[in-house]
Every structure is written in C-alpha cells, then in structure tokens.
Chains A and B, each alone.
Chain A
Amino acid sequence: MNGVEDITIIGVGQTAIERRKPAETFADMAYEVVTKALKDAGMTIGDIDNIVTTSNDFWDGRTISSMAVNDAVGAGLGKNITTVEGDGTFSAFYGMCRILSGSYKNSLVVTHVKGSISDNIHITNGIFDPIYMRPIGLDALNTAALQMRRYMTKYGITEEQCGKVSVKNHANALKNPYAQIKKAVTLEDVMESRVMADPLKLLDCSPISDGAAAVIISGEESAKKHKNAVNVRGVGYCADAYFLGDRDLADANALDMASSRAYEAAGITDPMSEIDVAELYDAFSYMELMWYEGLGFCAPGGGGKLIDRGVTEMDGKLPVNPSGGLLSGHPVITGGLIRLIEACLQVRGDAGDHQVKGVKTALAHGVNGACGQSHCVWIVGR
C-alpha cells in the first residue's frame, strides 16, 4: 500500500490493569508506560520527535484532558504534540500517519484512563444525544443489552455461546500478568451471574478499570532491524451510523469495512488461515462473536458456531484474546492500544505464558462509541 511497509512498532509499555490505582495520578501512569516503552525500544525521550496522547475529557473530569499528561510524556521538551480523543488504535493510526507524512520519524503514542474515579453510568450516558436518547437513561451497558438481544434474535445465537467467550477469556487471563481479573469462571458461573440488563449478565460484562499504555512507532530504516521490530502490514478504520435505530445492531458493517481495508493493505484474502492470533475488543461477551463475523472469520451469524467448535481457544485454529481481553480488564480508551501491544508481543514471541506458538501475523482491534459504532483494525507481523 502507501508506505506502511516502512513502519515498525519498536517499543511497547503497559501498566498492570487494576480496579483502582489510588497511588497514581494520570501523569504517573503515563510516565510509567512511556518509560517502559522507551526502555523496550532502547531509546531515550530525545529520540522521540512527536507525541500523540489519547484521553477522554469525560472520564478524566477535565476539559483539555491532555494537559494532565503532557509533562509526563515529554511535551515540555518542546516536542510537537497532539491529542486524539477515542480508542488507542485510532491514535496509533494517526501517530503512524504523522510519520508517513514525512514530518516526523518516531511517534510516541500514549493512552490513559481511570475508570475507578468516576461514574460510568453518567459518563456513558453522555455518549447519547441529549435531545432524544439521553433522557431515556441509556448508557454503555443497557445499550449493549439491546444489541445483544437483537444479535441473538436475528441469528439464533444463544446466551451460552456468548458465555463461552467469558469462560475462554477469563481462563486466558490467568496467564497474563497485566490482567486485572485472574479468576477462572465456568459456563455455569456466567449463566448464574447477576442479570444486569437482560440478556447481559455480570460475567458477560467487562469490569471498570484503571490503566495506561504506550507504543513507539518508527519510520526509520534502522528500526526495521530492531530486535523488537514488528512490521505494520495494514490498518483500516470505519464508523457506522450514530443513532441506534439507524442501523441493524446485529451486523458489524463498519468492522467489515475497516477490516476489508486492513486486509487489502496487508494482502490478506483468507483471514482464518492467514492470521495466527487476534486480540479483539470484547467489552461484552457477545461482542467478540459479532466481531468474528465482522472480521470475516465466519459468515454473518456464524460467531456462535465458531466458539462452539473451539476455533478461537488457545489451542484452536485462530486463538482470540490470549491476553484475556477486556473481559479481564477494561481500561477505556487504552483498551485498543493494549490489544495492539498484545498483538505485537505475540509476533515478537514475548507474550510469556500466554504466547501462541508460531505467530507470524497478528490482528488487533479497537472500538470507539456505543454498541461498536466505530472500529479500527491493525494487521501486524514479521
């Protein structure tokens, strides 16, 4: 495609994902991951010529939320800096574009959030249009429930099939030192867990979390030989209609479009056989099944059967979320960047106990907006 083959990801850093981090400010978390990413890349802050921070004014409780971390990420040194408000996969894309434009050589992309310090219900209610939808009391969870039921109705997906995602990802998280929840659950546990909003049960839902992450993206020729170098093969992103009634919530059309663009750039025609591992945005259990379909791992409506057949288990043909995914720890905004980091670690063979064997090509996925309205897909590899 247009130059992504010159782009490598050479450094990554993430905090442990925790229910709360009372000892740390946003700046502390950002500094931690920037330091880790620089060390991982064998660089100092002096090697970074531009920075993309990623934060959300509602979650942070401050407008110009970037101001909370500018110092900690190195902006004070007079570096060119910008801020994306949305999932980290999108800001990493922009960080890559800033290199491809010829303006910079090394982009530092940083994300942070502290879900613990404020009120998820009010904050996600704020996603909804104040005239027509907000007064109904919509939030991320009850709208996900609307989507889950629509998905199940249209395609005959069962609650058990969705529950299997939770079982799989919680089991995988046991081997991820960064995961917030390291507790296995059985399908029975999921089915008997507290009903939040039918048909969503507690164990179908990701938790509230604090976390930060950073990646260093390079356009330098020398970076390609870096021991940690992971090549970018393709990226695509796409947004669907906004009002919930303006689209069929059962179909991830925007993901289909986003992944098509990424696959085209990466020269992938058969994702099931050409992708070795995928890290997907499983904010809710049913979403992972929907994303299998949007990504073309199976036909529309085929997500349930895919998990029934064990295809996406650690020992399956295409392991999904070896890290434990968001169901095991969901720092918003940061979630997608962690998917990208995990995909890179898989390619590098650095995923430790949750390493999938023989990974050459990995897929990472991030989501922005309610009910999976907007998606970003990365294909990375060696």
Chain B
Amino acid sequence: MAKVRTAIVATGQTHHRSSRLDVNGIELIHEAVSRCLEDGDLTIDDIDAVVIGNMDHFEGINYVDTWSIDGTGGFMKPVIKVTTGGTTGSTVGHCGYHLVASGMFDKVLAVGWEKNSESDTTAAITTAFDPIWDRLVFAGAISGLAAEAMAYMVKHGVTEKDAARVAVRDRKHATNNPYAQLRKEITIDDVMNSPMLSDPIKLLDVCPRTDGACAVVFASEDYAEKICDRPAWFHGVSVKHPYNYLGDYEWENSLPSMHMASQELYAKVGIKEPLKEIDVMELYLPYSCAGLSWIEALGLCKAGGAPKLLWDGVTDMGGELPINPSGGVIATNCIGATALLRIAEAAIQIMGRGEKRQVPDVKTALASGFGGCFWSDVTILKSTKPK
C-alpha cells in the first residue's frame, strides 16, 4: 500500500523526429519540460525534485543528471539519474512515483529523452552486452529480437503477415498522434515487401530511431486534484530484469519477464481478466512480432492465440482493448523516453487529453517497458484513487 497516493497530473513531449538539428540535447529536454509545466499550469518553482534518464552511449554524455540542469530546471533542486537501457523510461516513471509516494517530495518532474541521431544506435547498444562472452557475437538489438520472433513463429505456426498486422495497426494509430515521428499508414504488403534486416524482421516491422523527449509531473494526493481535474493514479508497478546473458534467456517462451511482471501486478491490483478489465494499453513493442507473443505474456489470450486478437480488430481503436493509440514504438522510438512515453500516453488516456487518439471512457490503463536482456516493466494507472 502506498504511503502517499500518487498521480500523474501533467505531461509534455516533443514532436518526435528522426533528427532535431535545431536543438541540442539540453534544449530538447527543455522543450518537453516546458510543455509539461504548461499542461499542468505549473512553473518550475512548483517542482520539488527532478529525475532524468537516457542511455549514456547514445549521446556520449557522462553524468547526464548534472549536465542537463538547464533543460530540466534542476538548478538548486534535488536531481537524480536512473537508467536501465530500453526500460529506462519506465524506470524513470517508477522513480518519480516512489519519490512522491515516499512522502519526501510533493511534486516530482520525471524526464526521459534520447537523441538517437547523434550516434550509431547499433554500435552503442552492442556495448550493453558482456565484452568477454556476448559482445563479439551479438549485433545490436535487432538480432536478439529476430531470434525470439523466429522461435515464437516456429512454435505456434505464426506467419510474418500475422506480425505485419501489428505494425499496420500501430502505424495507423500514429496518424492520430501529432507527436509521433512516423505518421503515414502502411499496408501488410508494404511490410512484406520492405527490406529484410534480420530474418524474419523487415524494415517496416521495426521501430525507427528518434530524437525526442518526454516529461511527466507526479504529484501527491494533496496536490494532484488541485493541479488536474482527472489525475492518473498509480496503482502498482512491477519490474522483472532477470537475465544478463543471452544464453540464459528462454527463447521459446513468450517474454517470461513480462509474464512474471504482469502476473505479479495483476495480483497486486486485483485484475483477473486483463482483456476485460483493462481499457487501454500502451506497450513497448519495438517490433511487430512482439505485439503477438508479448500480449500472450500479458495474459490477454492463450499461447498462440494472439494473431486472432489482431485480425479480429480487438486491439484496434474501437476494439475491446485498444493497444497503442499513440502509435507506440513502431512509430516513435527515442529510447530513453520511449517507456516513459508509454506511461505518459496511458496517463493521457485517463486524463482525457488524448484528443484524436483518445479511447472513450478510460478508467484503467496499462503501460509496459522493455529493454536490456529481455527485461519487462509494467505499470497500472487508474482514474480512481487506490485504497
């Protein structure tokens, strides 16, 4: 039980682009922070503490927390950095939550950002893996995901077209999101005809590289309702980062860390039938096939049952459980921000600020984070206060 009930009361993000030459990293962060303060009708003086995250090697800045002061407004405030690879954004979001729920601060600004245009993404990601055992045979994020996709497709007879349906959905949803990077619809054929990157992942199956930032304000119960008329209340988080070596991963099971994290969280908040009880999900799906195997890990259906959910339109806007109304990661992937964007977009749905991408009547939203060595983070937000 949280000591202090905590909610998200304001969000801000940049218009995500493949490259923002008009701003340096600090200025990119400032943009998202300014928009977030505006969203909550707040000034920087209202902020009690700052938490920031990104993946160091993408911008080559050491000690980003102290470097980014001009961007976060952290001058003479408590500032801390958290980072866990792709899950950084959710790690940042969870930190914002704990800092407020602890009673130590009333209003915390959480920032996730990345300027992927500044580096060779694959070269940087490759440094995540152990230099003695894994690094020399590993080739960035895509090869690991491809191996996982292959294992799942073979096990359940799922096809590349089934996977493509996920990409088509997310790209279509992105057309409703003015902040998304890729805002043009694609067809199944477009995906199938796109260049093969790492069997079976093709160019249009996978996320782009993005420059972008996201800022969120977490507030304690005393302040939340003064700042926002419909705060997005934190009901629970679960984090499972169990693997470190590629050889430890259970390739043939759909993202076990997601299964563990979601089961733990559902039990904590009392969810028994996620498909029925959750109104919207913002999931960190860096590539199409994940949108099949990982929703099975989330307990939306039995193993191998995901393609049917996709083809039946269950996860489209207007369906029983829309997934990624924002367009998700396949439309925008500023890595350090991405998982925080999932939390922010879930909050936006509850706050009713989704405009063209708003799902009607959202009371319960789930956001996920993914990264590292097949790690998973899950967050549940609701329109009602936790007990």
A interface residues, Cβ below 8 angstroms from B: 2-3, 56-58, 61-64, 66-68, 70-71, 75-78, 80-86, 90, 93-94, 96-103, 123-124, 126-127, 129-131, 236-243, 253-254, 257-258, 368-370, 373-374
Q: Which residues of B contact A258 (CB under 8 A)?
A: 78
Query: B90: nearest residue on chain A (CB-CB)?
Result: A82
Q: Find out whether the CB atom of A2 lies under 8 angstroms from the CB atom of B127.
A: no
A240 to B75, CA, bound (A): 5
Q: Which residues of A contact B241 (CB under 8 A)?
A: 66, 70, 75, 81
Whether B129 is near chain A, meaning CB under 8 Å from some CB there, is yes
Q: Find out whether the CB atom of B76 lies under 8 angstroms from the CB atom of A101.
A: no
Q: How far is the CB of B67 from chain A (nearest CB, A)?
A: 6
Q: Find out whether the CB atom of A102 lies under 8 angstroms from the CB atom of B101.
A: yes
A370 to B65, CA, bound (A): 12
Chain B, 64-85, CB within 8 A of any chain A CB: 64-70, 74-85
* A82 and B69 contact, Cβ closer than 8 Å, known pairs A61-B127, A239-B78: no
Q: Which 4 A-B pairs have the closest CB atoms?
A: A369-B66, A100-B102, A101-B101, A2-B103
A80 to B265, CA, bound (A): 11
Selecting from B55-63, B157-165, B168-176, B308-316, the interface stretch reads B55-63
Q: Which residues of A contact B4 (CB under 8 A)?
A: 101
Whether B233 is near chain A, meaning CB under 8 Å from some CB there, is no
Beyond A67-B128, A68-B130, 20 additional pairs, beta carbon < 8 A:
A62-B131, A64-B83, A76-B248, A78-B260, A80-B239, A81-B241, A82-B91, A86-B81, A97-B98, A97-B101, A101-B97, A102-B101, A124-B62, A236-B78, A239-B78, A240-B69, A241-B69, A254-B76, A368-B65, A369-B63
Q: Find out whether the CB atom of B67 lies under 8 angstroms from the CB atom of A83.
A: no
Q: Which of B6, B125, B244 has the most CB of A within 10 A?
A: B244
Which of B1, B62, B81 sits near A58, CB closer than 8 Å? B62
A127 to B81, CA, bound (A): 14
Whether B365 is near chain A, meaning CB under 8 Å from some CB there, is no
Query: A243: nearest residue on chain B (CB-CB)?
Result: B70
A-B contact pairs, 6 of them (CB 8 A): A62-B128, A82-B82, A85-B64, A240-B69, A369-B63, A373-B66
Which of B6, B76, B102, B124 sits near A257, CB closer than 8 Å? B76
Q: Find out whether the CB atom of A71 lies under 8 angstroms from the CB atom of B94.
A: no
Query: B50: nearest residue on chain A (CB-CB)?
Result: A239
Q: Which residues of A contact B1 (CB under 8 A)?
A: 102
Which of B61, B63, B91, B98 sits near A103, CB closer than 8 Å? B98
Q: Find out whether the CB atom of A78 lies under 8 angstroms from the CB atom of B67.
A: no
Q: Which of B64, B124, B128, B238 has the most CB of A within 10 A?
A: B128
Q: Find out whether the CB atom of A239 lies under 8 angstroms from the CB atom of B69.
A: yes
Query: B4: nearest residue on chain A (CB-CB)?
Result: A101
Q: Which residues of A contact B60 (CB under 8 A)?
A: 126, 130
Q: Which residues of A contact B75 (CB under 8 A)?
A: 239-241
Q: Which residues of B contact A77 (CB under 8 A)?
A: 242
Q: How far is the CB of B88 from chain A (nearest CB, A)?
A: 9
Q: Which residues of B contact A97 (CB under 8 A)?
A: 98-99, 101-102, 104
Q: How far is the CB of A96 from chain B (nearest CB, A)?
A: 8
Q: Find out whether the CB atom of B240 lies under 8 angstroms from the CB atom of A239.
A: no
Whether B371 is near chain A, meaning CB under 8 Å from some CB there, is yes
* A101 and B2 contact, Cβ closer than 8 Å, known pairs A64-B128, A242-B70, A253-B76: yes
Query: A56: nearest residue on chain B (CB-CB)?
Result: B62
Which of A63, A131, A238 sits near B127, CB closer than 8 Å? A63
* A84 and B82 contact, Cβ closer than 8 Å, known pairs A75-B242, A78-B242, A127-B62: yes
Q: How far is the CB of B93 from chain A (nearest CB, A)?
A: 11
Q: How far is the CB of B185 from chain A (nearest CB, A)?
A: 34
Query: A247: nearest residue on chain B (CB-CB)?
Result: B75
Q: Which residues of A contact B77 (CB under 8 A)?
A: 238-239
Q: Which of A77, A84, A239 has the most CB of B within 10 A?
A: A239
Contact code string B25-69 (vs A, CB < 8 Å = 1, else 0)? 000000000000000000000000000000111101111111111
Which of B63, B83, B97, B244 sits near A68, CB closer than 8 Å? B244
Interface size on B, residues (CB 8 A): 64
A141 to B58, CA, bound (A): 25
A240 to B124, CA, bound (A): 30
A93 to B98, CA, bound (A): 11
A93 to B55, CA, bound (A): 22
A127 to B56, CA, bound (A): 11
Q: Find out whether the CB atom of A90 lies under 8 angstroms from the CB atom of B80.
A: yes
Whether B194 is near chain A, meaning CB under 8 Å from some CB there, is no
Q: Find out whether the CB atom of A239 lies under 8 angstroms from the CB atom of B66.
A: yes
Whether B243 is near chain A, meaning CB under 8 Å from some CB there, is yes
Q: Find out whether the CB atom of A239 lies under 8 angstroms from the CB atom of B372.
A: no
A96 to B104, CA, bound (A): 10
Q: How far is the CB of B380 from chain A (nearest CB, A)?
A: 13
Which of A58, A96, A130, A374 sits near B56, CB closer than 8 Å? A58
Whether B3 is near chain A, meaning CB under 8 Å from some CB there, is yes
Q: Find out whether the CB atom of A100 lies under 8 angstroms from the CB atom of B125.
A: no
Chain B, 173-203, CB within 8 A of any chain A CB: none
A236 to B78, CA, bound (A): 8
Query: A374: nearest residue on chain B (CB-CB)?
Result: B66
Q: Find out whether the CB atom of B243 lies under 8 angstroms from the CB atom of A76.
A: yes
Q: Find out whether the CB atom of B63 lies under 8 angstroms from the CB atom of A368.
A: yes
A239 to B70, CA, bound (A): 11
Q: Which residues of B contact A98 (CB under 8 A)?
A: 98, 102
Q: Find out whether the CB atom of A62 lies under 8 angstroms from the CB atom of B127.
A: yes
Which of B57, B237, B373 sits near A63, CB closer than 8 Å? B57
Q: How far is the CB of B372 from chain A (nearest CB, A)?
A: 5
Q: Which residues of B contact A368 (CB under 8 A)?
A: 63, 65-66
A71 to B244, CA, bound (A): 7
* A64 and B84 contact, Cβ closer than 8 Å, known pairs A70-B244, A101-B3: yes
* A67 and B80 contact, Cβ closer than 8 Å, known pairs A242-B66, A368-B63, A369-B66: no
